[in-house]
Amino acid sequence: MKRIGNLWEEIISYQNIILAAKKAQRGKRFRPNVLEFNYNLENEIITLKQELETQTYIPSDYKVFQIIDPKPRQISAAPYRDRVVHHALCNVIAPIFEKSFITDSYANRRGFGTHKALRRFIKFAQASRYILQCDIKKYFPTIDHAILKQIIRRKIKCPKTLWLIDLIIDHSNPQEPVQLYFSGDDLLSPLAHRKGLPLGNLTSQFFANIYLNEFDHFVKERLQAKRYVRYVDDFAIFSDDLDFLKFAKLEIELYLAKIRLQLHSGKTQIFETKYGINFVGFRIVNNQIRVISKNIRRGRKRLNRLYKQVSLGEASTDQIQSSIQAWRGHLQHGNTWQLQQQLFSGLGFAQDAREGANP
């Protein structure tokens, strides 16, 4: 495998850092930390560039908060200045790894996403009798730092770029404690491995894709699974051959153990596709595509919260309509016309959004 070098000057170029700042502030331009950065934009960019050039750059601490989605999850928000660095790095290294990604890996990639993953998933489900549906247990909290660095080094050899990558990985804040044991481990082995990437980082999402990229090739090339889809740590293999899927499950467990990951026993199963499947927030049964119940409940709560914000003057109707349009766009990938009527009919300020969605 060819390893790529000479990336550093491109990463720390003034033009790349400016581009990174523009990307980092999308949808967040009026937040105080972004406004403060932009007020002294040229000085901020020059200072950041100098710190990277001299390798004196040190990431700041994360802001940590909990969300219920539907279970409690820890979200770690990097300061805006660090998010600019994340974008500057990914601007340069993402295209290198992108060339090696398989077609049917859909998360955190430009031009892919949940809706393309859903369409591919439905196509495979309709053409197959059985599915092996898998979920990795506590994926982000269990990503092993040393293994991730080894995987990255199989593609990149630029020393200063690797310094920055290592710095970002090493600065990951403590995640949910998870102790998993593998063959050859002793009692203290889980504590000897630094692991976990913070949810909420651009680099974490990107590194999570890299971590399973070689696994994707294993499934496609070694197991020769013709119908395979992955979205982050949720993946599935479809087949008419039940024995093949049983064999594939055993081989997958062995492979994942090598990178210190385990399947979630409660979410990994083999069954007939005719009984219905949940994937990326939808439930597919025969030719019907429904939104799963927990997402409907979450959507109702969000709409009620938005409505209160408008009533109290805390948000404009334009902002709310934009949010509604985005959610309607998501819902329209399923058989959801009646659901949309139920959700939006009581929101007077959503009328323009409804008309805009149905020209």
The per-residue pLDDT for range 257-288, each reduced to its tens digit, is: 999 999 999 999 999 999 999 998 888 887 77
Is the pLDDT at 358 greater than 50, yes or no?
Answer: no
Give the CA distances from residue 358 to residues 75, 160, 324, 335, in Å, rounded to whole numbers and listed in that order.
36, 51, 13, 15
- What confidence score (pLDDT) does residue 315 get? 60
- The Cα 337–Cα 334 span in angstroms is 8
- What confidence score (pLDDT) does residue 357 get? 40
The model's pLDDT over 294-303, given as tens digits with 9 standing for 90+, comes to: 666 666 676 6
> Residue 354: pLDDT band by 50, 70, 90 thresholds?
very low
> Residue 348: pLDDT band by 50, 70, 90 thresholds?
very low
- What confidence score (pLDDT) does residue 251 get? 98
> Residue 335: pLDDT band by 50, 70, 90 thresholds?
low
**349 or 74, higher pLDDT:** 74
**315 or 74, higher pLDDT:** 74
3-class SS letters over the chain: CCCECCCHHHHCCHHHHHHHHHHHCCCCCCCHHHHHHHHCHHHHHHHHHHHHHCCCCCCCCCEEEEEECCCEEEEEECCHHHHHHHHHHHHHHHHHHHCCCCCCECCCCCCCCHHHHHHHHHHHHHCCCEEEEEEECCHHHHCEHHHHHHHHHCCECCHHHHHHHHHHHHCCCCCCCCCCCCCCCCCCHHHHCCECCCCCCHHHHHHHHHHHHHHHHHHHHHCCCCEEEEECCEEEEEECCHHHHHHHHHHHHHHHHHCCCCECCCCCEEEEHHHCEEECCEEEECCEEEECHHHHHHHHHHHHHHHHHHHCCCCCHHHHHHHHHHHHHHHCCCCCHHHHHHHHCCCHHHHHHHHHHCC
Mean pLDDT of the chain: 87
> Residue 104: pLDDT band by 50, 70, 90 thresholds?
very high
Is the pLDDT at 256 greater than 50, yes or no?
Answer: yes
Percent of the chain with pLDDT over 90: 61
Reading the block at residue 120, the tokens are: 């591919």
- What confidence score (pLDDT) does residue 252 get? 98
Is the pLDDT at 359 greater than 50, yes or no?
Answer: no
> Residue 314: pLDDT band by 50, 70, 90 thresholds?
low
- What confidence score (pLDDT) does residue 57 get? 97
Least confident segment among 53-57, 326-330, 351-355? 351-355
Is the pLDDT at 186 greater than 70, yes or no?
Answer: yes
- What confidence score (pLDDT) does residue 211 get? 98
- The Cα 238–Cα 8 span in angstroms is 42
- What confidence score (pLDDT) does residue 341 get? 58
> Residue 344: pLDDT band by 50, 70, 90 thresholds?
low
- What confidence score (pLDDT) does residue 53 get? 97
The structure's pTM equals 0.83
- What confidence score (pLDDT) does residue 2 get? 82
Least confident segment among 64-78, 108-122, 141-155, 228-242? 64-78
